[in-house]
């Protein structure tokens, strides 16, 4: 009859289906169907567990082991005077799985196999249901406590397995103190099998919790672990991969017991472990890995903050800091901790490489996190002990970065300008790199308006551009004509006035003419040329090569101007067209 009751219990709970029965089991189950008249006596209690599943059980059997259920059943009987009761239990540890284990314990006359993987759940269930010695000798609570007393003989992996099992009912195990007990045993094993004990003790000595530090130092001195249970690896980091399976709230408890939680963390080893743990968590999230409990970015925020505080108190290279930033950025890091990490990176930005700066963006507005680079540049420029050598080194790095991000279709013009203008002009000896980045950007964004292209070119310092770059700019069809003329004027200004037979200060830009549409270089004082001496003629010959190069650039612009000038007549016709027939000089274009 007990077998029939258990089978009915499983069927009603959808734990198994009729098709899964063996022929002999089916025969017994059909026998149960024929004995429906006896069911009220066998299953006179309906229990709704956490609103997830329904269990049909016997009141007498459960009341013999659970003080809480016995009290609830008696109360309901006095209220309703109904034999078949229906009650609900909320927040039960482990949910339906935990309640099924307890039910099997009760139906098996108080016997169940206890292991390191289920002892935490059984212990919490026993505490929740009040399964004490007052109801039955050797009740579930006593059995689990006896099993836990032997924790001192557990292996390292046994303790980790037991801690892992607490994941789905962590609140209950934390309240009962079971998690704390398991963590102490874990730290003892860690201290026995590694020389990390000294590092942890030194870290704990500066902690705000001296009791925690002294407790750990005392427990770590005990040598109770058999040699056979020690891990095989002799590396100081042998335990890193073993602990990454634990949930973040348990890792926080472990770090807190080591006295290195939050701002108290100054241990290099613990910081490396936290970064290793967080890196693994980020990879699992990106890979779509799912566990029993899904954790959000906010669940890892505390560990990420502790890692950043540890980084700030230990020596990390610039590349190492960028690696830390990549890890903690996906872990819900607080704004203050992120600013602290960015200040560290910004102060040594001259040691960075292009690969360091190419950090992926966390939104759909761009491939790279350009805002981060802008913030780092501001920190670097405003840092103390900033030398000209460091500034120019970063200037070359930023020019490479601009060329790398320019093809991004989602990159806004203001972002590109923000990066280009984040450094003063003194950081660049040459602006050719900035021009190359702008050229790539204009090619990748063909729909930019005339105003946007002009604004983008405003960051160029034509005086610091090479002649070849200015020549390329002048014939570039994507550059506005007025910008091209400014670049040519800047190159003319490099020629000493004593060596130049004419002035270009009156060059107004390309002028339009219905007959030719040519651009002309106009003399500001024609009469002065007739009074020049023979020496000036020699100077003219010496400058002939430079003038010819400019003439070639002007000719190459001729074909482009006729097309571009139609879109902005006002800019290109600020002065009336020159009367070429009246000019005493031959036309240059």
Residue 222 burial (10 A CB sphere; 0-12, 13-18, 19+): exposed
Tell whether the model's pLDDT for residue 224 goes beyond 50: no
SS3 content of the chain, % helix, strand, coil (to 5): 60, 5, 35
What's the CATH code, domain 1-13+35-192? 3.30.710.10
Q: What per-residue confidence (pLDDT) applies to 361? A: 80
Q: What per-residue confidence (pLDDT) applies to 262? A: 82
Q: What per-residue confidence (pLDDT) applies to 566? A: 53
Tell whether the model's pLDDT for residue 151 goes beyond 50: yes
Task: Please tell me the distance from the alpha carbon of residue 327 to that of residue 370, in angstroms, as a whole number.
Answer: 18
Tell whether the model's pLDDT for residue 250 goes beyond 60: yes
- Spatial neighbors of 439 by CB under 8 A, at least 6 apart, are 476, 478
Q: What per-residue confidence (pLDDT) applies to 85? A: 85
Tell whether the model's pLDDT for residue 580 goes beyond 50: no
Contact 111, 105 (CB under 8 A): yes
Note the pLDDT tens digit of each residue in 417-452: 999 999 999 999 999 999 999 999 999 999 999 999
Tell whether the model's pLDDT for residue 510 goes beyond 50: no
Least confident range of 69-83, 166-180, 219-233, 247-261 = 219-233
Q: What per-residue confidence (pLDDT) applies to 37? A: 44
Token couple for 9: 């219990």
**pTM assigned to the model:** 0.72
Share of the chain above pLDDT 90, in %: 53
Confidence of residue 548 (pLDDT cuts 50, 70, 90): low
Q: What per-residue confidence (pLDDT) applies to 405? A: 96
Confidence of residue 296 (pLDDT cuts 50, 70, 90): confident
Residue 20 or residue 218, greater confidence: 20
Q: What per-residue confidence (pLDDT) applies to 549? A: 62
User: Residue 507's closest CA among 491, 495, 524, 494?
Assistant: 524
Q: What per-residue confidence (pLDDT) applies to 554? A: 63
Q: What per-residue confidence (pLDDT) applies to 588? A: 36
Mean pLDDT taken over the chain: 77
Give whole-number Cα distances, 331 to 93, 170, 250, 302, 382, in Å. 28, 21, 16, 9, 29
Residue 225 or residue 472, greater confidence: 472
User: Residue 509's closest CA among 527, 487, 482, 529?
Assistant: 482
Least confident range of 265-269, 282-286, 436-440, 510-514 = 510-514
- Spatial neighbors of 402 by CB under 8 A, at least 6 apart, are 416, 419, 420, 433, 434, 437
Average pLDDT over residues 155-172: 95
Least confident range of 102-111, 112-121, 188-197, 480-489 = 188-197
Confidence of residue 556 (pLDDT cuts 50, 70, 90): low
Which residue in the block uniquely carries the two structure tokens 């099997």?
A: 104
């Amino acid at each position: 009859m007990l077998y029939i009751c258990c089978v009915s219990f499983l069927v009603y709970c959808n734990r198994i289906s009729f098709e899964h029965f063996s022929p002999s089991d089916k025969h017994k189950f059909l026998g149960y169907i024929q004995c429906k008249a006896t069911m009220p006596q066998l299953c006179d209690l309906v229990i709704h567990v956490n609103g997830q599943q329904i269990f049909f059980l016997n009141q007498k059997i459960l009341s013999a082991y659970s003080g809480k259920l016995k009290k609830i059943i008696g109360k309901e009987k006095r209220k309703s005077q109904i034999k078949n009761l229906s009650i609900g239990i909320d927040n039960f540890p482990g949910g339906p799985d935990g309640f099924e284990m307890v039910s099997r314990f009760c139906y098996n006359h108080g016997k169940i196999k206890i292991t390191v993987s289920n002892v935490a759940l059984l212990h919490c269930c026993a505490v929740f249901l009040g399964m004490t010695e007052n109801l039955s000798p050797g009740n579930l609570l006593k059995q689990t406590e006896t099993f836990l007393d032997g924790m001192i003989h557990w292996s390292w992996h046994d303790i980790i397995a037991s801690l892992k099992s607490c994941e789905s009912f962590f609140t209950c195990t934390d309240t009962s103190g079971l998690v704390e007990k398991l963590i102490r045993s874990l730290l003892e094993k860690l201290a026995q099998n590694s020389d990390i004990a000294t590092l942890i003790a030194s870290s704990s000595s500066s902690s705000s919790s001296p009791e925690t530090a002294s407790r750990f130092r005392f427990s770590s001195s005990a040598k109770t672990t058999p040699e056979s249970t020690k891990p095989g690896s002799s590396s100081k980091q042998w335990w890193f991969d073993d602990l990454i399976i634990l949930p973040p709230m348990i890792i926080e408890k472990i770090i807190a017991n080591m006295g290195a939680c939050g701002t108290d963390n100054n241990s290099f080893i613990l910081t490396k472990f936290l970064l290793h743990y967080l890196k693994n968590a980020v990879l699992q999230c990106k890979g779509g890995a799912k566990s029993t409990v899904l954790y959000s970015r906010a669940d890892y925020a505390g560990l990420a903050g502790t890692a950043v505080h540890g980084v700030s108190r230990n020596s990390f290279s610039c590349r190492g800091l960028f690696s830390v930033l990549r890890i903690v950025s996906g872990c819900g890091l607080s704004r203050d901790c992120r600013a602290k990490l960015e200040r560290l990176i910004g102060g040594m930005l001259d040691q960075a490489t292009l690969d360091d700066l190419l950090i992926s963006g966390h939104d759909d507005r761009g491939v790279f996190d350009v805002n981060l680079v802008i913030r780092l540049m501001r920190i670097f420029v405003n840092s103390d002990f900033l030398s000209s050598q460091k500034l120019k080194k970063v200037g070359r790095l930023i020019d490479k970065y601009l060329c790398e991000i320019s093809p991004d279709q989602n990159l806004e013009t203001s972002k590109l300008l923000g990066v280009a203008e984040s450094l003063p002009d003194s950081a660049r000896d040459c602006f050719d790199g900035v021009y190359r980045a702008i050229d790539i950007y204009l090619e990748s964004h063909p729909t930019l308006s005339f105003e946007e292209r002009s604004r983008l070119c405003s960051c160029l310092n034509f005086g610091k551009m090479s002649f070849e770059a200015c020549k390329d700019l002048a014939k570039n069809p994507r550059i506005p004509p007025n910008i091209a003329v400014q670049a040519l004027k800047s190159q003319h200004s490099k020629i000493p006035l004593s060596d130049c037979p004419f002035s270009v200060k009156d060059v107004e830009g390309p002028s339009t003419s219905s007959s030719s549409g040519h651009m002309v270089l106009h003399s500001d004082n024609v009469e002065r040329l007739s009074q020049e001496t023979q020496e000036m003629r020699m100077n003219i010959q010496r400058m002939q090569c430079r003038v010819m190069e400019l003439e070639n650039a002007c000719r190459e612009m001729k074909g482009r101007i006729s097309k571009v000038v139609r879109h902005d007549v006002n800019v290109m016709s600020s002065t009336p067209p020159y009367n070429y027939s009246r000019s005493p000089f031959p036309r240059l274009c």
